[in-house]
Amino acid sequence: MKDAATTVKPPFRADHVGSLLRPAAVAEARKAGITGAALKEIEDREIPKLIRMQEEAGLKSITDGEARRAFWHYDFMDMLTGLDIEQDDGEGFNFKGVKTPGVFPAINGPLDFPDDHPMLDHFRFVADHTTQCPKISIPGPSCVHFRLDPKRVRYAPYKDLAVLFEDITATYRKAVAKFYEAGCRYLQMDDIFFAYLCDPKHRAQKAEAGIDPDWLIGKYADMLRGAIADRPSDMTIGMHMCRGNFRSTHAAEGAYDLAAEAIFSTGVDVFFMEYDTDRAGGLEPLRLLPKGSQRIMPGFITTKTPELESLDWLKAKFDEASKYVDLDQLGIAPQCGFASTEHGNAVTEDDQRRKLELVVACAEAIWGEA
């Protein structure tokens, strides 16, 4: 890690969720079927360019853009012991007007976070190439369960959800410790399914499967709280929530009201909350954030479309937000990543840069710092 990175400490007023449009060279290599060391060589060459772009935009929180991943969550999960991402013919999950590829999580043995999980090295690479604060975003504990078809749970003890949830928590507790050992002081968990469980459609699906969605919200909060409870005091934990982001489409809608109390009880330090459309509901749930040092990053700036939000409009949105939570407990970040999957959103690299520059400009205009 470069020396300067150890002095740049989160939380920040300007931040981003993590994923960026895949560099053309990386996308073309994957399309051509290049894998292994040959692909890594290309990624190692292109990721420093993404890092420089973030630094030049004025950001202090730097990621690898998830450029080594196909999906924001499945790559990490597939690298866990006991969990496999299986591919079937056909399509995956419904988004607005489109479906994801047919890949699904399956549990074939006891869960664990391996000592050589590849994303530890992914983090180290960023730390070695930035002068700012390196951050890595990983899927949160709920991701191991929410999309899990019971028919793909082939490890018998996990038919009992209590046992499964206990082992998910233990796996993530180990992940937190291992990332800390690797030098990570800013770890973000993308736990988007809290927001999904505020959507009547998804709530009904869980109820039909015999699971009370409100009970599930509480259990997801318990898992996250347990996963981070023992983290060292100098490690900042972020949490991102959205309603789906696949090629600029969404998969859920609904206000945060049903989950806000549970979300804010997790002990997370920084909350990245989608707020770029009416799908996220009003800002009233922000009032439930306890007074203190925790921070909310309302995602008023969208990553789904290229149109640039005006600074005056953003200031007005923060005036509204400050009616529910102290302005000192707020910051600004885009509503989601720019490429939650390798397919990317319907924006250009120039659009992406301008959005990130706007994040920084907004933070400087409101708080005098990024």
Q: Which amino acid is at 51?
A: I
Residue 94 has pLDDT above 50, yes or no: no
Q: Helix or strand or coil: residue 241?
A: strand
Residue 2 has pLDDT above 80, yes or no: no
**Looking at residues 46-65, what average pLDDT do you find?**
98
pLDDT of residue 51: 98
pLDDT of residue 78: 97
Of the pLDDT bands very low, low, confident and very high (cuts 50, 70, 90), residue 252 is confident
Could you give the strand order of the β-sheet that contains 236-241, starting from the edge strand earlier in sequence? 136-139, 186-190, 236-241, 270-274, 295-299
pLDDT of residue 280: 86
Residue 76 has pLDDT above 90, yes or no: yes
Name the average pLDDT for the chain: 93
pLDDT of residue 6: 56
Residue 177 has pLDDT above 90, yes or no: yes
**Looking at residues 341-345, what average pLDDT do you find?**
84
Residue 279 has pLDDT above 90, yes or no: no
Give the residue among 311, 173, 187 at the shortest CA–CA distance from 240. Answer: 187
Q: How far is 42 from 47, CA to CA, in rounded Å?
A: 9
Tell me the whole-structure pTM to 2 decimals.
0.93
**Looking at residues 76-80, what average pLDDT do you find?**
97
Lowest mean pLDDT, pick from 65-69, 204-208, 240-244 = 240-244
pLDDT of residue 4: 46
Q: How far is 57 from 30, CA to CA, in rounded Å?
A: 28
pLDDT of residue 5: 53
Q: Tens of pLDDT along 215-243?
A: 999 999 999 999 999 999 999 999 999 88
pLDDT of residue 87: 86
pLDDT of residue 342: 87
Give CATH for domain 3-367. 3.20.20.210
Specify burial of residue 211 (Cβ count, 10 A radius: 0-12, 13-18, 19+). middle
pLDDT of residue 266: 97
Residue 95 has pLDDT above 50, yes or no: no
Residue 190 has pLDDT above 90, yes or no: yes
**Looking at residues 246-263, what average pLDDT do you find?**
82
Q: Tens of pLDDT along 298-339?
A: 999 999 999 999 999 999 999 999 999 999 999 999 999 999
Of the pLDDT bands very low, low, confident and very high (cuts 50, 70, 90), residue 100 is low
pLDDT of residue 88: 79
pLDDT of residue 93: 47
Write down the domain spans for the chain. Answer: 3-367
Q: What is the DSSP string of 267-288?
A: --SEEEEE-SSGGG--SGGGGG
Which tokens go with 61? 């929180």
The answer to whether 231 and 178 have CB atoms below 8 angstroms apart is: no
Q: What is the DSSP string of 99-148?
A: EEEEEEEEEEEEEE--TT-HHHHHHHHHHHH-SSEE-EEEE-THHHHHT-
